Every structure is written in structure tokens, then in C-alpha cells.
């Protein structure tokens, strides 16, 4: 009887473990936990010392997309092939297929910059393996933890609480060149990683009537940069531009498509939550603002803002070959607070 009871106890325990594993992979947060555990399991103690920080570490909210010589976390260059694959599996779990494709293509553009800037002092900082992975806290079904993947022209930040993604901001993507004018370093002429982000906005702008443009255009000259770049929280200024309520059906469809382009960089489950928040707050209150030129090759900027989010896009800088306004910075941020932290 004792042996039978022991056997039943073991089966119950194994069943609970199996059921816990089943629950873990049931959503984006669970997949991230599994992928994070697998990646951490490949690292040495020395590597973990770089890759793992406490959840409350100030580095968690210290983000930027500029080409810095040093960053928090473990650099891809310091990983072996097994570790790199596990790291990329972790990134894939946090992003949609579309978002992951953009992120990896942005990393590959570093090869272009390295080639074009090889004669410049500091050109060696351009490296498609100079991207850093950091875990904040301990990934688990009952814990709160964070993930940062960052390097030149991308910063992707997530918080998972009890197996659910509760924050996926800031997410920043940038490209230099925005449009490849010629083939360089194996990257084909015409490559345009962030094409939809730019084309849809131009299409919406060009669809506006003269009266609508008066509301939408907030400045004749583009802003030089996205606001609050590298700051823990987004700018809290009131939304500017033309409200969705003043757009016709075709224009509203374009605005929704533009928002979707950014929202869908994360898995469907998380994207749906982003979009549901916009609808709850009232889509008609979302505003579209433009500054600068209305054509490619001259500096332009736009902003889409609602109660729960803000999108910013700027293309004012020349690319590495000197082509004007061919260098994009854009992001999605949470107006309720990035990094799962309230805006003070």
C-alpha cells in the first residue's frame, strides 16, 4: 500500500510538472520564459555575470540606440554558435515574425556602415555582432523579470509578470541607409527595411485636403530627432495634429494600417492588447501630426499619438554615403509608462 501511495505521489508530482510546462508555453510570456531559461542554460558563470542583472537595476531603464562603445548585457560577439542560436530564439519569442525580420535586417545593415566608414576614425564600432542581451531578474512562472536586446539602431525592452507580457516598450528601430542606393556588403540595392513605416505615412499625408493639412502639419521643418530618445519615459506633451475623427473612411484605414505596422512588431497576443487599448480609449481621439517635407530625400517627421501610445518617426540625417534624409529613427512607446513603470 505504501509503495502504491508513493507511486501515485510521484505520478501526481510528474503530472504537475508536465502541466506547468504545458502552461508555460501557452502564451508569449511563457515562450519567453522557456527561451530565456534555455539561453541562460548555455552560458558560463562569467557570461551570466554580464547577462543577468537584478530587476531593479538602473540599467533596466538605461536604453539608447546610438552607436555606443559599451553597453549593458552580453554581446553576441562573446557567444558561441549554440549560445547565439539560443539568444536569437529568445528574441524570436519576444517579437512577431515581422518584427524579428526587421530587427535582424537592421543588425545586418551594420555591415554596410562598416564598409562605408572603414576609412573613418571609429569605423570599427560598426559590427553586426555588437548587440547585447540582458535579463533583469529571474525568468519564471511566478516572477516579474525583464529582457533588453539592444545595439545600434535598435532597442527592444520587455517585462514579463507571472508569465504574461505586461510591457513591450520602448521598441525602437532605425535604418542607415533607409533605402540602399547601391549594393554594399552583400545588401542589395533597393533594400528598405522600414518601407511601410515611411510609405503609409506619406500616403496618409498626401490624401489630406488643404484644410486637413492645416491641422496635421505642426511645423514646416522636421524635428531633428525623436523626442526623449534614451529617456526612461516618453514626452508627456498633449497630442498634436489632426484627430482621426476628422478623417474620412479611407484616411482612417491608412492611419490604422500605419499603427498596425508598429503594433505588429510584437506577437499577435501582445499586439491585440495594444490595439484593444487604443479602441478602448477611442480611436477617433488618435492624432496624426507631420513636420517637414512631403517627399523623400528632404527631412520629414511624423507622430501618431493616443492616450495609451505614441509613435514617432524621423528621417532627417544623411546616410553614411552622404545621401540626404536617408536615415530613419522610429519607435513605439507607452503613454501610460514604459518598462512597466508609471509616468511620474
* 22: confidence class by pLDDT, cuts 50, 70, 90: very low
Q: What per-residue confidence (pLDDT) applies to 122?
A: 56
Contact 119, 129 (CB under 8 A): no
Residues 67 and 152 in one domain: yes
Average pLDDT (209-232) is: 98
Q: What per-residue confidence (pLDDT) applies to 4?
A: 39
Residues 156 and 215 in one domain: no
| 51 domain residue, yes or no | yes
Place of cell 495594444: 274
Residues 83 and 219 in one domain: no
Whole-prediction pTM value? 0.92
Residues 131 and 208 in one domain: no
Residues 141 and 227 in one domain: no
Average pLDDT (67-95) is: 97
Q: What is the pLDDT of residues 161-173, one digit of tens each?
A: 999 999 999 999 9
Residues 295 and 236 in one domain: yes
Residues 127 and 205 in one domain: no
Q: How far is CA 296 from the centre of its chain?
A: 24
Alpha carbon distance 47, 87 (integer Å): 13
Average pLDDT (260-286) is: 98
Residues 93 and 62 in one domain: yes
| 186 domain residue, yes or no | no
Residues 167 and 261 in one domain: no
| 12 domain residue, yes or no | no
Mean pLDDT over all residues of the chain? 93
Residue 186 has pLDDT above 80, yes or no: yes
Domain that holds residue 142: 27-175
Residue 252: which region, alpha, beta or left (left: phi > 0; alpha: psi -120 to 50)?
alpha
Residues 164 and 225 in one domain: no
Per the structure, how many domains does the chain have?
A: 2
Question: Is the peptide bond prior to 230 cis by the omega test (within 30 degrees of 0)?
Answer: no
Amino acid at each position: 500500500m505504501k509503495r502504491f501511495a508513493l507511486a501515485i505521489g510521484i505520478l501526481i508530482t510528474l503530472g504537475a510538472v508536465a502541466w506547468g510546462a504545458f502552461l508555460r508555453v501557452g502564451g508569449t510570456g511563457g515562450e519567453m520564459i522557456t527561451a530565456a531559461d534555455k539561453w541562460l542554460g548555455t552560458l558560463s558563470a562569467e557570461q551570466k555575470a554580464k547577462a543577468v542583472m537584478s530587476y531593479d537595476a538602473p540599467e533596466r531603464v538605461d536604453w539608447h540606440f546610438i552607436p555606443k562603445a559599451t553597453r549593458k548585457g552580453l554581446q553576441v560577439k562573446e557567444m558561441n554558435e549554440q549560445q547565439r542560436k539560443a539568444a536569437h530564439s529568445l528574441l524570436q519569442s519576444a517579437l512577431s515574425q515581422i518584427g524579428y525580420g526587421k530587427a535582424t535586417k537592421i543588425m545586418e545593415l551594420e555591415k554596410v556602415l562598416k564598409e562605408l566608414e572603414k576609412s573613418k576614425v571609429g569605423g570599427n564600432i560598426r559590427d553586426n555582432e555588437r548587440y547585447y542581451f540582458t535579463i533583469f531578474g529571474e525568468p519564471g512562472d511566478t516572477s516579474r523579470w525583464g529582457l533588453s536586446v539592444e545595439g545600434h539602431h535598435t532597442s527592444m525592452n520587455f517585462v514579463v509578470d507571472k508569465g504574461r507580457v505586461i510591457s513591450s516598450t520602448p521598441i525602437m528601430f532605425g535604418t542607415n541607409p533607409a533605402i540602399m542606393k547601391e549594393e554594399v556588403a552583400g545588401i542589395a540595392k533597393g533594400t528598405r527595411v522600414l518601407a511601410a513605416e515611411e510609405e503609409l505615412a506619406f500616403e496618409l499625408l498626401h490624401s489630406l485636403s488643404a484644410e486637413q493639412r492645416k491641422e496635421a502639419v505642426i511645423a514646416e521643418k522636421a524635428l531633428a530627432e525623436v523626442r526623449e530618445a534614451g529617456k526612461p519615459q516618453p514626452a508627456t506633451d498633449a497630442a498634436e495634429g489632426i484627430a482621426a475623427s476628422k478623417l474620412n473612411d479611407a484616411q482612417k484605414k491608412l492611419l490604422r494600417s500605419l499603427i498596425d505596422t508598429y503594433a505588429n512588431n510584437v506577437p499577435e497576443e501582445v499586439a491585440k492588447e495594444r490595439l484593444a487599448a487604443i479602441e478602448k480609449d477611442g480611436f477617433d481621439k488618435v492624432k496624426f501630426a507631420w513636420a517637414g517635407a512631403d517627399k523623400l530625400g528632404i527631412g520629414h517627421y511624423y507622430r501618431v499619438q493616443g492616450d495609451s501610445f505614441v509613435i514617432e518617426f524621423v528621417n532627417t540625417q544623411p546616410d553614411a554615403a552622404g545621401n540626404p534624409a536617408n536615415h530613419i529613427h522610429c519607435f513605439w512607446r507607452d503613454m501610460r509608462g514604459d518598462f512597466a513603470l508609471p509616468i511620474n
